[in-house]
Amino acid sequence: MIFKKESIEKRIVATFIGYTLFIVALLWVLQILFLNNYYYIMKRASVMSAGKSIALNLNSDNFSDTLEKLCFHNGMCCVILDEQWNEVYSVDMLGRGCEIHSPSRFSLKDNLSAVMSGERNEQTIRIKNPHFRNDSIVCARAVTNAQGERLMIVMNAHLFPVESSKDILKSQLKLITTLLIIIALCISKFVASRLSRPIRNITQKAKRLANGDYIADYDGGGIMEIDELAETLNFSAEGLSKVEELRRELMANVSHDLKTPLTMIKAYSEMIRDITGDNKEQRNEQLEVIISEADRLTALVTDLIRISREESEIGVINSRSFDIKSMIKDITERFSATNEQYNIIFEAECSDKAYADSDRIGQVLYNLISNAINYTGEDKTVKVKLFKASEKMMRIEITDSGKGIAPEELPMIWERYYRSKNTHQRPIVGSGLGLSIVKSALTAQQLPFGVQSEQGKGSCFWFELPVSNKIEMR
Ligand code: ADP
C-alpha cells in the first residue's frame, strides 16, 4: 500500500478525528436509529422477567400483593387463567388501555391457545392499538400451581412512543458530537506536537552530521523510543567524531611515514646517480638504505590493504584444524631472517592442533610479533610461547622487553588508527592499524585475548585458541 507522505501531526489529528467520528456515528445509530427496536427488546425482557417472578411467587401466601406490586413496577396489567379460561387472579393496572382486559380488542383464546394447550411454554405478541395510537406487548407463560393445576399468566404492557425521547437524545448528541470533536482536536494537536517536536529537533541536528558536525546533543524529549533514537545518534556522533579524529591523526602520521622514506629514497638515489655511483662500497651502503626505506613503505601499505580487506570480510570465518606450532615456527623464522640483529625465541610446550580460522590467526601472529620487534628494548629479544592454558584451550604469548604501555593507554591501543604519542617517532614505522586487525580477527572468532604490560619492563600480548580434538569431540 502506498501512503502519501504526511506529517506525524496530520496523521495523529486525522486518526483522532476519524476515531471520534466513528464513536459518534455509533452513538447516533444505536441511540436514534435502533431506539425503537432497542426499547421493544428491553420492554419484552422486563415483562418476561416479571412473568418469571410471578411464576415463582405463585404459591406464596401474599401472592395477590406480590402480583400487584410486580404489575405496578413494570407498568403492566396481568391476568392468570385456569385451563377453562377462567380468571384466577387479575390486576388491571392500565385501565382502559389494557388489551387483555378488553376482550373486544384482544381475544385471549384466539391468540394464546398454543400456550394454554401446552404446545408452547411462553409466547410474546406485539399488537397495534389504533385506539391509543401506541403499540403494546402481550406475554403469556404457562405454570403449574402447588395443586398440580395448569395455569397461564398473561401480561400486557404499553410500548410508549419514543419519538419525544429521540428528540431529546438528538439535541444531546449534537452537543456531545461538537464537544468530542473539539476535545479530539485539542488532544491530538497536543500529542502530535509532543511527538513531532523532538523528532524535528533530532532531524535538524542529524543534518549537521552530514556536514561533519559531530556534537552529541540529541534529545528524545522523554519519549522512550525517541530517546533511544537520540541515544543511538549521540553514540554514533561520538563514534564518528572519534573516528574522524583518529583518521586525521592517521593521515598526518601516514603522510609523514610515507614522505620520509620517499624523501630518503629520492635523496640516496640522486646521490648514487651524481656522486657515489662509481664507489661500490658507498653505493651499496646507500642502496641498503633505499631497500630498507622501501621495506618501510611496503609494511605500511600492507597494513592499509589488510585492514580494508578485513572490513570487506567481516563475519566470514573459515575455522579448521591446523598445526599452530609449525605456523608460529614459520613466522618467527621469517621474521628472524629479515631481522638478523633480533633474537626471536620460540618456546613450544604443546603440540596439539588448534581449531580456528588459520588465515586470520596468521595475521594476528604477524602483527603481534612485528609489534614486539618494533617496540622491544635494547636486548632486541622477543619471546613467543605456546602452551596449554586449560584442557580445551591453548595460549600464545608474545613478550618483548620494551618500554611497555602506560595503563591509561591500554584500553585504547586496540582501536583503529590509535598510535601512542610516545611511539610515533622514527625508526618505528606503523599505521595504528595492527592491533585493530588483531582485535577484529579474534573477536570475530570469539577468542579471548589481552595484554599485560609494565612500564620500563615490557609487554606481553596473548590470545587463546581452542584445542582441535576437544572441539571436534563436542
Ligand atoms: P602501530 O602500527 O602504531 O604499531 P598498532 O595498532 O599495532 O599500531 O599498535 C597501536 C599502538 O599500541 C602502537 O602505536 C603502540 O603505542 C602500542 N603498542 C603496540 N604493541 C606494542 C608493544 N609490543 N609494546 C609497546 N607498545 C605497543
Centroid of chain to Cα 191: 22
Whole-number pLDDT of residue 251: 74
What lines the ligand 1 site, CB under 6 Å? 371-372, 375, 400, 402, 405, 413, 418-420, 423, 430-436, 459
pLDDT tens readout for residues 96-118: 888 898 888 889 999 999 999 98
Tell me the best of 419, 422, 433 to mutate to test the pocket of ligand 1, counting ligand atoms within 8 Å of each CB and taking the most: 419
Compute CA distances 386 → 277, 355, 373, 462, whole Å: 49, 15, 18, 10
Going from the Cα of 420 to the center of ligand 1, the distance in angstroms, rounded, reads 7
CB atoms within 10 A of CB 266: 12
pLDDT per 10-residue tile (average), the chain, 474 residues: 67 90 90 84 93 92 92 94 92 86 88 91 86 82 90 92 80 91 92 87 84 79 86 87 77 70 85 87 87 80 70 71 94 82 93 91 89 91 95 95 91 78 52 80 92 93 88 45
Distance between Cα 363 and ligand 1 center (Å)? 15
- pLDDT at site 474: 42
Predicted confidence at residue 80, as pLDDT, reads: 95
Q: Decide: 451 and 405 in contact? Cβ < 8 Å.
A: yes
Which residues are registered as beta bridge partners of 386?
Answer: 348, 396
pLDDT at 396: 97
Helix (H, G, I), strand (E, B) or coil at 313: coil
DSSP string, 184-213: HHHHHHHHHHHHHHHHHHHHHHHHHHHTT-
- Ligand 1: nearest atom to the Cα of 430: 2
CA-proximal residue: ligand 1, atom 13 (nearest): 419
CA of 339 to the centre of ligand 1 (A): 18
Q: H or E stretch including 157?
A: strand 150-159
